[in-house]
Amino acid sequence: MKFREITTFLFAALVSFHVKAQDVLKYVDPNIGTAHSRWFYFTPAAVPGGMAKLAPSTNGHYGNASGWEAVGYDVRQNSIEGFVHFHEWQVGGVSFMPTTGSLKLNPGELDKPGSGYRSAFSRQNEVAQPGYYKVLLNDYQITAELTATKRVGFHRYTFPKTDQAHIILDIGQTQGESGKVVDSGIHMVDDTHFEGYVITYPKYVAQYDPEGKVAMFVYGQLSRKPETITAFNAGGIQAGSINVSGKGAGFALNYNTSADDILEIKVGLSYTSTANAKANLLAEAAELTFDEAKSLASKTWQQELGKIYVESLNVNDKIKFYTGLFHALLGRGTASDVNGAYPKHGGLSGQLSEQENKYGFMNTDAIWGAFWNVTQLWSLSYPDWYQRFVNTHLRIYKDRGWFGDGIANSQFVSGVGTNFIGLTIAAAYQLGLRDYDVKLAYEAIRKNELGWQNRPKGSGKMDTRAFLKFNYVPQVGDGKNFISDSTGSSFSASHTLEYSFSAFAAAQMAKSLGNDADYKMFMGYSNGWRKLFNPANKLIQPKTATGEFIKDFDPYEAWRGFQEGNAKQYTYYVPHNPAALIGEVGNGQFNETLDGIFKDAEKKGFGGGKTIDAFAGINAVYNHGNQPSLHISWLFNFSRQPWLTQKWTRMICDQFYGTEPIHGYGYGQDEDQGQLGSWYVLTSLGLFDVKGFTDLRPIIEFGSPAFDKASITLGNKKILVIETKNNSKEHVYVQNLTFNGRNIQNCWLYRDELMKGGKLVFTMGSEPNKNWGTSAPPPSAQ
């Protein structure tokens, strides 16, 4: 090839890549699913995995009565009370709001226009896209724009002509899941710089880690000195002050503006100190303009979203795909500073080693079912994210001697109490992600499965002693209250199933490390689910400590023995040994019953119907809106009817997921830090693993790809192309499959083979090919 031909080819390749990267952003719609969405859900002005997650708030100051419900931005509400910087699980704070006219210092009430500084807005004048947000505040005729780098938030406000322009820095207000404000403060460093802090006590910290607290720090740079400053706190206006503290602390920066006058603010963020907030600002944004930051955020999203490029004439499917991928890369944000400082327990600051700081430290909700979505996606194309997760939790273990089920600034904020951190790290090891102290990791995993003495509540698994004694968790209480202690649990059956699965993961890592004694021990515990399988009704049924199945058993009843689900759903929670479960039920009955479950579930959109409630489907036969059910549609691969996995996974993608603000994720279900979006991404590619990659040699199962072509940049930089021939909404069944020209007769492949890259070609049809993928089901190696 001649030089000119080479350069022309390279230029064309670069142009092609640029076009692809540009194309994907237009398919992201952050407004999807914003009815009943969680605090960290709608944060468009952010970069992937950022600390700075800026977003408008319609109701954030109302707080959160139970500590976890939908709050922040709701598409059904039509006024904005401020633009908030911190949005994580149990972490929220620092709201700014531009206004004009008479100064008001509280946000006001949703149903009382004019009662505070909030403003009406129209969604026709709203722009939300990856890395950028823009809206016209109708009451003030101010255009507000937001963007961000990883740790710096950018505001640009365009004002009308007025001698009563204000920017309210409402530092000390409750926001979202933050819980009550313990203290706050703000002061002017000089004419155009300020620094501040807010310390909060979230409900889940109070419940699971009562000595903890969550601190947030800011260092801000104004584009122009204000004419005057009005300082205030919960006690009212603090006349003449430029240094105010206490609950409710804040400033109103007052200006005279001409028509289309622009005022800008850069805000460095930190969880450790105002000094580090300043250092973050200087490192990431010292000379960066708003437009440059916006452009950089867009390019970052293009690069990260573009690692998986799908092609299809169906625009809605691409919107679902890239919005789901956007959510997956938005959740679980960075919590460490550029210099490696990170928040330790009790408001202290720690320092990551150089090795740890390669990945950084993150905030994260409990992993619960994310091994069926988020971590599988990370391992496919974003392995550094997985490494960050592992290193974060090993840092927690080094600091505190236990894993936390979920963490907020190193505080334990357990939500479900089962603690799958060990399983998640064991899976990372089996995937070859090992850039950490492996010996320490196994020590921590082992303790997470076996440790019960002096175990802190926020580490979850408070019924570990009971599980180790009986090899199942006995039922205690009536399910109306959350009880979990050394005698058993009110969620006894679901805990037994979950602990059996995590014991299996620990066993496989033990075997990899040559520890046969631990392998045999953990494999014994992994069979705990068998203790609760009732051969009379072919269901998992809770037992008492005396070994008797509980009386008055209703398989549709949630909470009594089953956390956020019921026996109909949880009976299929044996992901580590589907073959054994199928054997207990009987292959024919298993397929007939499970197919019937999905036929029934289809009538309610595979969840709670059109009820807008995170728990709408927990009494149903199947609930795609919550984690415990997410692997079930893939079990037909194990029962030698893979065409039913193909049928039902495609139907769930088509019907459960929507492209509207209300329908988005099952009419207001729990798109918890990108977990349901990640499931769509994986399933629409036709890839999944029921075992969450915990096997000694992990596999990939095949489903029904939704796209004509997908080009995936794998984590090892190789390229995997998935081509789907004869694809359509009606052609959901695999007729044959080839990988790099080789016929694949199984509905699965060892993952290490797939990760070598190449071309996977599915040929589809409108009727099942019942001879394909049935001879050798995925292994249930025991």
Average confidence (pLDDT) over 578-591: 97
Average confidence (pLDDT) over 127-153: 98
Residue 347: predicted pLDDT: 87
Residue 9: predicted pLDDT: 38
What residues have CB less than 8 Å from 363, skipping those under 6 apart? 88, 89, 91, 332, 333, 334, 335, 407, 408, 409
Closest CA to 360 of 336, 341, 383: 336
Residue 782: predicted pLDDT: 63
Q: Is a pLDDT exceeding 90 seen at residue 481?
A: no
Residue 14: predicted pLDDT: 40
Q: Where does the pLDDT of residue 480 fall: very low under 50, low under 70, confident under 90, or very high at 90 and above?
A: confident
Residue 6: predicted pLDDT: 37
The percentage of the chain sitting over the pLDDT mark of 70, rounded to a whole number, equals 97
Q: Where does the pLDDT of residue 19 fall: very low under 50, low under 70, confident under 90, or very high at 90 and above?
A: very low
How far apart, in Å, do the first and last CA atoms of the chain sit?
54
Q: Measured on CA atoms in the order 285, 286, 287, 291, is the torsion positive or negative?
A: positive
Q: Are 415 and 459 in contact (CB under 8 A)?
A: no
Q: Measured on CA atoms in the order 599, 603, 604, 605, is the torsion positive or negative?
A: positive
Nearest-angstrom CA–CA distance, 243 and 186? 6
Q: Is a pLDDT exceeding 80 seen at residue 11?
A: no
Q: Is a pLDDT exceeding 70 seen at residue 654?
A: yes
Q: Are 675 and 627 in contact (CB under 8 A)?
A: yes
For residue 18, give the amino acid letter: H
Q: How much is the mean pLDDT over the chain?
A: 95
Q: Is a pLDDT exceeding 60 seen at residue 18?
A: no
Residue 20: predicted pLDDT: 53
What would the pLDDT profile of 41-54 be if each residue is shown by its tens digit? Answer: 999 999 999 999 99
Nearest-angstrom CA–CA distance, 651 and 644? 10
What would the pLDDT profile of 287-297 be if each residue is shown by its tens digit? Answer: 999 999 999 99
Residue 113: predicted pLDDT: 84
Q: Are 220 and 266 in contact (CB under 8 A)?
A: yes
Please calculate the CA angle 30-34-36 and round it to the nearest 5 degrees: 155
Higher pLDDT, 447 or 347: 447
Nearest-angstrom CA–CA distance, 400 and 8? 57
Q: Is a pLDDT exceeding 60 seen at residue 5?
A: no
Nearest-angstrom CA–CA distance, 686 and 679? 11
DSSP codes of every residue in 16-78: HHHHHHHHHHTT--TTTT-SS--TTT---B--TT-S--BEEESSGGG--SSSSSS-S--TT--
| DSSP tag of 668 | T
Average confidence (pLDDT) over 83-104: 97
Closest CA to 93 of 173, 37, 183, 152: 173
In the block, tokens 């938030």 appear at 153
Residue 111: predicted pLDDT: 87
Q: Is a pLDDT exceeding 50 seen at residue 702?
A: yes
Q: Where does the pLDDT of residue 389 fall: very low under 50, low under 70, confident under 90, or very high at 90 and above?
A: very high
Q: Is a pLDDT exceeding 90 seen at residue 16?
A: no
Nearest-angstrom CA–CA distance, 695 and 752? 12
Residue 479: predicted pLDDT: 72
Nearest-angstrom CA–CA distance, 490 and 78? 41
Q: Are 502 and 496 in contact (CB under 8 A)?
A: no
What would the pLDDT profile of 172-197 be if each residue is shown by its tens digit? Answer: 999 999 999 999 999 999 999 999 99
Q: How large is the C-alpha radius of gyration of the chain?
A: 26
Residue 2: predicted pLDDT: 43
What would the pLDDT profile of 733-763 be if each residue is shown by its tens digit? Answer: 999 999 999 999 999 999 999 999 999 999 9
Closest CA to 151 of 203, 216, 105, 215: 216
What would the pLDDT profile of 761-773 be if each residue is shown by its tens digit? Answer: 999 999 999 999 9
